Amino acid sequence: MHLSLGLTFIPPLLIAYRSQGFWMTTNTYMEQPDVTFKKQLMLILNKPQPGEFLAWSTYSNFNSLLDQNSIRIPIVSSVESDVNGDGKFDQLNFTVSIPLESTESITSFGLLLIFDYKLYRMSTLQMETLAYISHSSVSAGSSFVAYGDLRLYQKTPLRHRGVDTRFNTTIVDSADSSASTYDLSTIFSAYSQRNLTTQFLNKYPVWKSGRGAQQPFTIEVIISYPTETITYQPGFWELIKWGWVQYVTILLLFLWVFRKINIAVFSEQLFNTVIVHPKIKRH
């Protein structure tokens, strides 16, 4: 009888455990992030002459580091639109137009845009992220257009609840005035270490050459904020729930099988058994 009980209740656990995971360690959900362009940017344009460049940023400390001939203030324009009217922005149209002299030309550029990124459904996450758009060409350009998505890149799963502001720190420390702070490699080395980052992906860059004299160089970037599949670590009760669901479904099968076996064994009296009759009332 004890053997039968043991055979009924232990094997379902073993089967559930051995069949690729009893405890659900990670799970996923989908959510459209609440993204806002922080109106912070850094723009570096390289000229074909080695070492010559033009740059500008919304960080005054960076601008004051630049040589006066290297700083060129562009015309920046941005429109964030909520296409489906759900209260979250779906797209950013970002345009920057850099005035250039006829003798100047641009063969490559790097553009850093800073975003505020929020998630609400499981853990309440807020972080500062960036999109880096760059292109280089052998021929001097007149305009650049790119269409892409701001995708979330996760190295570790999120927590299932709580407030997560681990990465709500400034990517570019605008209070610092040293040149190394604004070096792109410094910015990227710190940023790439983060467990949660965003990237400008799925891009379709178009570089056009043939700039007219006195015409500006224009960069247009259309960034979508797509719905993301986010991995998270389930909480205790979710873990127990799915463990229970797995165990009980197999257990029900075993209960049924062993009941049949028990009935067969005991009714056929395969072993020596003592039949205990219900007590007879004695008077």
Q: In the complex, what is the shortest distance from the CB of residue 57 to other proteins, in angstroms, rounded to a whole number?
A: 11
Find the shortest distance in angstroms from Cβ 207 to other proteins. 9
Task: Using CB under 8 A, pick the residue from 32, 46, 58, 186 that binds other proteins.
Answer: 58
Contact positions with other proteins (CB under 8 A) in 69-128: 71-79, 81, 85, 87, 99-102
Q: Where are the beta strands (DSSP E) in 123-238?
A: 124-136, 141-154, 163-164, 196-201, 206-209, 217-224, 228-232
Which helix (H) or strand (E) covers residue 40, if one does?
strand 34-46
Which tokens in the block code for residue 276?
């205990």
Taking each continuous run of H as one helix and of E as one strand, the counts in the chain are: 4, 13
Q: Please, which residue, 161 or 208, has the CB nearer to other proteins? A: 208
The tokens 């690729």 sit on which residue?
20
Contact characters 130-149, other proteins, x per CB under 8 A:
------------xx------
CA distances from 76 to 10, 41, 136, 236 (A): 67, 10, 21, 49
Please report how many Cα atoms fall inside a 13 Å half-sphere around the Cα of residue 135, on the Cβ side: 24
| Minimum gap (Å) between residue 97 Cβ and other proteins | 9
Determine the size of the site formed for other proteins (CB under 8 A). 32
Within residues 220-239, the interface with other proteins by CB under 8 A covers: none
11 near other proteins, rule: CB under 8 A? no
Smallest gap from Cβ 99 to other proteins, in A, equals 5
What is the DSSP secondary structure assignment for residue 212, as one 8-state letter? P
Instruction: Supply the minimum distance, in Å, between the C-beta of residue 176 and other proteins.
Output: 18
Q: Is 39 in the site for other proteins (CB under 8 A)?
A: yes
What sign results for the dihedral spanned by CA atoms 238, 239, 241, 245? positive
Contact set for other proteins, span 181-210 (CB under 8 A):
208-210
| Residue 213 in the binding site for other proteins (CB under 8 A) | yes
| Contact status, residue 143 vs residue 122, Cβ threshold 8 Å | no
Pairing of strands 108-119, 34-46: antiparallel
In the bound state with other proteins, the residue whose beta carbon lies nearer, of 99 and 243, is: 99
Task: Kindly report the backbone phi and psi dihedral angles of residue 97, in degrees, each rounded to the nearest multiple of 5, phi listed first.
Answer: -125, 120
Identify the residue among 47, 135, 160, 211 touching other proteins (CB under 8 A).
211
Of 25 and 69, the one with the shorter C-beta distance to other proteins is: 69
Q: For the purposes of burial, counting CB atoms within 10 Å of the CB of 194, is it exposed (0-12), middle (13-18) or buried (19 or more)?
A: middle
Q: Which is nearer to other proteins, 147 or 258 (CB)?
A: 147
Residues making contact with other proteins (CB under 8 A): 39, 58, 60, 63, 68, 71-79, 81, 85, 87, 99-102, 142-143, 208-216
